[in-house]
Amino acid sequence: MKRVVVTITSIPSRQTNLVKTIQSINNGTLKPDCIYVNLPDFYPIFNEKLDLQFVKKIEELDRVKVNITKDYGTLTDLIPILHQTEERDLVVIVTDNSYYSQYFLEYLVKGYNEFNCAVGFSGIAYPETTINLCNCLRYLCSNKHGQDSEILETTLGFLIPMDQLKIKTINLQPMEQFEPIYFSNDYVWSRLLDRKKFVHYEPIGRNGDDFSKIITPIETNPNHSLSRSGNNLKNFFNSKDHEIFTLKNNYQ
């Protein structure tokens, strides 16, 4: 039987937000089998250790399993659980600054059941695709239900069938001191999947850039971000040849 699990990482300034995000997931029409909360023991960017009292608070929430790990930037959402999940599992990545709709998880799983591949509520083209088509970096967004997408955005929900992720381990050194992160979880995990679909169901649909039926931000302008600041598409493009994507190093 397939498990449906949720995975998330966070930073110290979003502790309160993280609790609210987890509660919104637990209040959904479909309950996850587990919510993995992956927290670095030390945050080089903030020169700050993990608050173990906060860990105890998180562990009291329903369905939560905390993994204390090293800091892999945004990739801390999935790297720690690669060996805690099975190939038949469905893993949903979420972010730590959102109230998720009660239908959020139910309709991601419905999308997987319909298309048998990775699905998400927001899909965009690779930056290299936009350069080839438009001679510039711009967002080319999926807008039709079942449309193929190159990048699925994790903020609005990104379901990964683990048997379709093209790695079992990933050779990436954790950060011991702060350094710029030029890649994002959206881009990395999308590059490691062959089939991805944008899904749009009426009960959880959206109108243009209005995502309010899917998520509501807890903070509209948070002080810190998990990913590198700046233009995301430019960051994606700068990371397209990163060694993380080489078959020799990572596809095992």
CA diameter of the chain: 51
* Per-residue pLDDT at 177: 76
Across the range 135-148, mean pLDDT stands at 91
State the pTM of this model.
0.91
Confidence of residue 231 (pLDDT cuts 50, 70, 90): low
Q: CATH number of the domain that 134 lies in?
A: 3.90.550
Confidence of residue 252 (pLDDT cuts 50, 70, 90): very low
* Per-residue pLDDT at 229: 52
**Number of DSSP helices (H) and strands (E) in the chain, helices first:** 7, 14
Distance, in Å, from the CA atom of 53 to the CA atom of 39, rounded to the nearest integer, reads 13
Q: Is residue 230 over pLDDT 60? A: no
pLDDT above 90 as % of the chain:
56
| pLDDT digit string, tens, across residues 61-86 | 999 999 999 998 888 999 999 999 99
* Per-residue pLDDT at 189: 92
- Domain residues for the domain of 172 are 4-250
Please, are residues 150 and 123 in contact by the beta-carbon 8 Å criterion?
yes
* Per-residue pLDDT at 149: 96
Across the range 227-239, mean pLDDT stands at 67
- Provide the number of structural domains found in the chain: 1
| pLDDT digit string, tens, across residues 192-225 | 999 999 999 988 876 666 788 898 888 775 555 5
Distance, in Å, from the CA atom of 69 to the CA atom of 79, rounded to the nearest integer, reads 9
